[in-house]
Amino acid sequence: MSASLFEIVELANGDVVLQRADEEGEPLLSIRFSTESLTLMRDGKFDIAKAMIEAGMEAANDLPEDDESAFEAATTETESALYDKRTLH
Tell me the per-residue pLDDT of 4-17, one tens digit each, with 9 for 90 and over.
788 999 999 999 99
Tell the burial category of 83 from Cβ atoms under 10 Å away from its Cβ (0-12, 13-18, 19+): exposed
Q: Confidence band (pLDDT; 50, 70, 90) for 67?
A: low
CB atoms within 10 A of CB 40: 10
Q: Which residue has the higher pLDDT, 78 or 17?
A: 17
Indicate whether 1 belongs to any domain: no
Indicate whether 85 belongs to any domain: no
Question: What total of structural domains would you count in the chain?
Answer: 1
Indicate whether 55 belongs to any domain: yes
Indicate whether 50 belongs to any domain: yes
Mean pLDDT, the chain, as a whole number? Answer: 79
Residues 40, 50 contacting (CB under 8 angstroms): no
Indicate whether 89 belongs to any domain: no
Domain encompassing residue 66: 6-80
Indicate whether 17 belongs to any domain: yes
Cα(28)–Cα(36) distance, integer angstroms: 25
Indicate whether 72 belongs to any domain: yes
What are the strands, taking DSSP E only, across 1-89? 6-10, 16-20, 29-31
Single pTM value for the model: 0.63
Q: Confidence band (pLDDT; 50, 70, 90) for 24?
A: confident
Q: Confidence band (pLDDT; 50, 70, 90) for 35?
A: very high
